[in-house]
Chain A
């Protein structure tokens, strides 16, 4: 190395370190709240399905059911059934059919649809919370964060490379929703919620089961 280059080495290394750290931060799907077991395992199932490991994915679904029941929580099937009842969908039935047929594509659609409904459940609850003055900002933030975590972990985590523009568009809507929640702007939040669900159905329709509410 030429001696006159030496003084430049330290600043260049610092710049490289800074750029490296920034890139990591931009790439990471930071979770805002502790990851619920269901979300964590659904992500695991999706990753196995992506790698073509359908049998392992189905086995993991079985262990999730057991683990959640031991902890006194609703399993995947029970969660799907609960959401089906609330949103008049048939995700639980689809889950059973997909497992019985060992159909990886259908199983992926079930997981994405379940995530979409879980997000919708949080956002609907948040709309009601925004109208209630007794709800603390912290409680509202937890619900918004969770809805966002479901999106980040499942949709962004698995589709960001294939459809980066669509994921970015949805992230922008989620940013505006975050802001509306902070400002307690119920009307704006309602509009953004509709926009988000419509955009998700439009962009990720091929990954979701048909007939999901918008």
Chain B
């Protein structure tokens, strides 16, 4: 990597990071401005699915169960808000690192696409938040796991692993090559 002339990350990758940032901001604004509405909406939807939440028909018990859903649903929006900001930031750094490596253009593009796919991972938290009142927490988590956490979270982990290995290999190669006189 040449520190003197740092290359910008690919435009599409940067745009994807900004989009995730935007979604994160939007979710933050929503949970800040409409927290009570989100809680009530989650509660009402959970109430429509008594079997899922094992509602008993005894008012004080059901209130505790529904309050728990009403607390956890916005809490997952908050997790999405945090992860989308964090991942957007980390990904733009990774894309910049990739853009500045000495890898072939094909490898750089493949790595950039691979890393950018990981940007979809935080949407798993949003899925849990949306589906928790109707499916229950465990089923909503399984859905998020199948659709987002395993494919995109896994892809991200592997991409970071591959980048580390390739970067280290490249460094070693540079180190072994004799410096021109």
Contacts and interface: CB of A to CB of B under 8 A. Distances in A.
Contacts of B61: 122, 125, 142-143, 146
A38 B60 contact: yes
Interface in A56-111: 73-74, 79
Q: How large is the interface on A (under 10, 10 to 19, 20 to 34, 35 or more residues)?
A: 10 to 19
A118 B61 CA distance: 11
B170 interface: no
Q: Chain B interface secondary structure, helix, strand, loop or mixed? A: helix
A36 B65 contact: no
A139 B65 contact: yes
B64 A33 contact: yes
Contacts of B56: 125, 139, 143
A39 B59 CA distance: 12
B132 to A, nearest CB: 14
A34 B62 CA distance: 12
A36 B61 CA distance: 9
Q: Chain A interface secondary structure, helix, strand, loop or mixed? A: helix
B102 to A, nearest CB: 54
A142 B65 contact: yes
Contacts of A139: 54, 56, 65
Nearest to B138: A136
Interface in B47-94: 54, 56, 58-61, 63-65, 67
A203 B61 CA distance: 27
A140 to B, nearest CB: 9
Q: How large is the interface on B (under 10, 10 to 19, 20 to 34, 35 or more residues)?
A: 10 to 19
A122 B58 contact: yes
Interface in B133-170: none
A122 B60 CA distance: 10
A135 B54 contact: yes
Contact of B64 (A74, A118, A142): A142
A146 B64 contact: yes
A178 interface: no
Contacts of A136: 54
Contacts of A135: 54
A121 interface: yes
Interface string A178-212: 00000000000000000000000000000000000
A73 B58 contact: no
A183 B59 CA distance: 26
A184 to B, nearest CB: 15
Nearest to B137: A138
Interface string A122-157: 100100000000011001001100100000000000
Nearest to B63: A36
A136 B65 CA distance: 12
Nearest to B136: A136
Given A73-B59, A74-B59, A36 B54 contact: no
B43 to A, nearest CB: 11
Interface of B: 54, 56, 58-61, 63-65, 67
Given A121-B58, A135-B54, 10 more contacts: A34-B64, A36-B63, A73-B59, A74-B59, A125-B58, A125-B61, A143-B56, A143-B61, A146-B60, A146-B64
12 contacts: A34-B67, A36-B60, A38-B60, A73-B63, A79-B59, A122-B58, A122-B61, A125-B58, A125-B61, A139-B56, A143-B56, A146-B61
